[in-house]
Every structure is written in C-alpha cells, then in structure tokens.
Amino acid sequence: MINKNELNLLRDALETLEQGDTELPAFTPQHDARRLGEVIVKVAERMQDNYPYYHPQYAGQMLKPPHPVARIAYALSLWVNPNNHALDGGRASSAMEKECVVELGSMFGWQGHLGHLTSGGTMANLEALWVASRLHPDERVIGSEQAHYTHSRISDVLGITYTPIGVTRDGRMDVALVENELKKGDVGTVVVTMGNTGLGAVDPLADILALRESYDFRIHADAAYGGYFGLSSEIADDTAASYACLTEVDSIVIDPHKHGLQPYGCGCILFRDPAVGTIYMHESPYTYFSSAELHLGEISLECSRAGASAVALWATHQLIPPVRGGEFAAGLDAGLRAARGFHTRLLASRHFQPIFAPELDIVVYAALAADSQTCSERAASLFDIAAKKGLHLALIQLPADLIADALPGIEVNTDVVTCLRSVLMKPEHEEWMPRLVEILETCAEELG
C-alpha cells in the first residue's frame, strides 16, 4: 500500500529548500485550494486504473517502482522545476547531473568520459548512433535481432542502414554472423545489447571485441536494461566476462529508470572519448551566456530536460550508491535469484516449459500444449486468468525456430509462438516467487 509518511519528509525538505530564498521580498504563489483539490481527487480516481506495478504480484513487463528517496527528491525539485538544458535553467541540478554521470561511468571503469542524462534509453541510443554515424559516415550499423526495436527506427531517422543479426539458441547475438557482416567491409558500428529486452540475454561482448583485432568498427553497448548487472555477484562467469569488457566499448546507454530505481524520464548516454563533444557543437542565441562552464545542452540533442531527474538520481546515489557489494547490488542479486528459482520450478511443472535459463532477471516460458498454435492460445488465456487472480504477467512473441529446441515433442505449426514473460526485477520477488508459481499452476489447472 502507499506509504504516505513519505510526505512528512517532503514537507520538511521543502522548509529547508525555502530557506535558500532569503534575499527577496516575501511572495507566496496563490491558488484556489478548493477547485484544485476537486480536480486532484478526480485525478486520483482516474489513476486507480493501472496495473499494481509496485506489488510483487506484478511480474510482467520491465517496470520497477522508484526508490522513495528518488520519488521525494524528484517531487521536491518540482517546486524549483529546473531545466538541465543550461546552467541558467538549473545550476544545482546540472552540477548534480555531472556528478551522476561521473558515478555512472565509473561503474564501467571509466574516467574522463563525456555524457549526460536523457529522457530515456531511446534518446540516448539516438545520440549514440548519431555520433557513430558522424564518425563512420555511410557505413552500416548492425545489431542483434533481439536488440531493442528502436535501433532500426533510429537508424531510419538518421538515414543509416541497419542490419539485424541472428541470435544463437541462448538469445545472444551470433558472433559468426557478425563476422560475416564485418567481412563485407562496410560496417561502421556494432550495437551490442547487454541484456536484451525480450529475453534478458547478454551479447558476447568479449568475442565481439576480439573481432576488432581484424576489423575496424565502433562498439555501442545498449545496456539500457542490463547495465547495472555488472555490479551483481550472482551473474554467471561468462556473463560477468562480457560486463568486464564494457570498459573497452565506445559508448554505453544505461537507463536509471529501468533498473536504477528512478521515475521515468531518466536515461543516460556515456562516451568514452570526450572529444565527441565537438560533434554536438552548435550556437544557441538564447542560452549559454551566463558562464563559460559547460552547459549540458551543449553536449545533448534534447533542449529542455527535467532537472528533477538528475536530482532524484543524485539522491539515490547518495543513499545507495551503484557499487559492487552494496545495498543496491544486493537488490539486483535478489531479482536474479528470484528468476532462477522461478525457472527451476517451471522446469518441474507439467503445464509450463521455460525457453531459456535466465541470464539476468527475465524468464520466458511456454504454456505447454500439443502444438505451437495451442501453446500461443493457452499463453494468452493464462495472461487473462492470472490477471483476474491478481498475478500480472507479460506476453512475448518469439520466432518458432528460436524455441523449437526448448519444446521437444511439440508440433510447430506456426511461425511465431506466444510465450509468457516475467521480469522479476523487484528484490521482493525473491520471497514472493513460490507464491507466483503457485498462482500460475492454479491458473493452468483451471484452464484445463
């Protein structure tokens, strides 16, 4: 349930914030509290129509509640409403953003890098591919078939040719197919997904890096979802080896609003070589006169941007820094154990068959039936039945040939198979996992 005590912390913090404004004559903005209150109650009623994302029985899409410290800091900063485009719009929040960018980069062993927060992973990837296309003009971008769908669309926007590359049976980009493309001599950039959104598979970064001994190409790591898992002590050794290589890529996207406990509106792009900043050079007749210090808008494609996102992330880093062995990393570990436990239990079920062993915290599983068409129908029905019992899942469509091996004895009579998908990304999922499986089994019994 909602912890309304957080509001006391917000009220106290607003008092402190207000004490910064002592030089001006008193002025308190006025509003009609009665009418405002009526509308706000209406809003609260409208907002009741949502899935309960914060609850452990929400085990569907990649949705994680923000940490209270992020929520309170974000709300607090709305009374200032800073704009991190320029220092004129948000001095303190721009400084906080720069500190956060240093901290995020140091997760990957970087120092002296360039970067900034963005409204999300899509904007961050757009900037990465835009910079890549400036440095490798007229060359192709390649990435896994399981890479985020926006890469091909971003490439379209930028006028770049994007080629999807097949995956191996574990959902990772196929390195042999990557090399086939590199041999053609016109690939400028390889997008390596560190945790793809559908399956949670991590592309084999060490093997792709090794190809740079023979071919000249840029590597962009899309770690929007999976970027934080390098902090985990629970990931498998081969996965950890991929994360260890992140220090050598050219650019990284990580979404604090996915696994970093932030409200939406918080992605991040990092470039290892700060010299790419010159690519962003532009003249703004409106801004940049207040100081010679770096304004974030000088190294960003977006203009106005919520300073509140930086304030919230900064507060979160203060409380639970993104470092190995800390409380933040322990939360990721709990999700990984939840996913593994969920996978193990489904393996033993006569109603379900997991498609992959989870590499991160995503479990994809088929609802068993005689043929793939019926599997798909059962998955869709179970999604609805489970929701009525308060268990919220997600669905994913996968190419039948990708999962045929995982479903021996099932007749494949469709090109794609709809499976169930659960992102077990809340630490509480570890404790709740057995209960989630129990509800699932009950649903499957009911469906007959």
Ligand X SMILES: *Cc1c(COP(=O)(O)O)cnc(C)c1O
**For ligand X, which is the closer residue by CB, 222 or 333?**
222
**For ligand X, which is the closer residue by CB, 124 or 403?**
124
For the segment 167-206, give every residue that binds ligand X (CB under 6 A): 193, 196-197
Pick the piece of the chain touching ligand X (CB under 6 A) from 21-29, 102-110, 221-229, 424-432: 221-229
Question: Which helix (H) or strand (E) segment is 220 a member of?
Answer: strand 218-223
Side-chain half-sphere of 140: how many Cα atoms within 13 Å? 15
The site for ligand X, by CB under 6 A, has a size of 15
Burial of 43 (0-12, 13-18, 19+ CB in 10 A): exposed
**For ligand X, which is the closer residue by CB, 84 or 353?**
84
Rounded to the nearest 10 degrees, what angle do helices 429-447 and 372-388 cross at?
Answer: 120
Q: What is the DSSP letter of 271?
A: E
**For ligand X, which is the closer residue by CB, 126 or 410?**
126
CA distance 114 to 98: 9
Residue 221 token pair: 């790591």
| Residue 279 to residues 31, 132, 134, 276, Cα–Cα distance (Å) | 46, 10, 8, 6
For the segment 252-271, give every residue that binds ligand X (CB under 6 A): 255, 258, 267
- Which residue from 148, 272, 295, 340 is in contact with ligand X, where contact means CB under 6 A? 148
- Which residue from 74, 110, 217, 225 is in contact with ligand X, where contact means CB under 6 A? 225
Q: Give me the least distance between CB of 74 and ligand X, in Å please.
A: 16
Q: Give me the least distance between CB of 110 and ligand X, in Å please.
A: 20
Q: Give me the least distance between CB of 119 and ligand X, in Å please.
A: 8
**For ligand X, which is the closer residue by CB, 94 or 197?**
197
Q: Give me the least distance between CB of 220 and ligand X, in Å please.
A: 11
CA distance 373 to 165: 26
**For ligand X, which is the closer residue by CB, 146 or 418?**
146
CA distance 317 to 327: 11
In the beta sheet, which residues pair with residue 221? 192, 252
- Which residue from 121, 256, 260, 358 is in contact with ligand X, where contact means CB under 6 A? 121
Alpha carbon distance, N-terminus to C-terminus of the chain: 34
Q: Is 120 in the site for ligand X (CB under 6 A)?
A: yes
Q: Give me the least distance between CB of 127 and ligand X, in Å please.
A: 12
For the segment 278-337, give every residue that binds ligand X (CB under 6 A): none
Q: What is the DSSP letter of 167?
A: B
Q: Give me the least distance between CB of 160 and ligand X, in Å please.
A: 17
**For ligand X, which is the closer residue by CB, 299 or 425?**
425
| Residue 85 to residues 28, 178, 300, 308, Cα–Cα distance (Å) | 27, 38, 8, 12
The dihedral sign for the CA sequence 427, 428, 434, 439: negative
Q: Give me the least distance between CB of 203 and ligand X, in Å please.
A: 10
**For ligand X, which is the closer residue by CB, 121 or 335?**
121
Residue 201: φ, ψ to 5° = -85, 145
For the segment 66-105, give every residue that binds ligand X (CB under 6 A): none
The binding site for ligand X (CB under 6 A) comprises 120-122, 125, 148, 150, 193, 196-197, 222, 224-225, 255, 258, 267
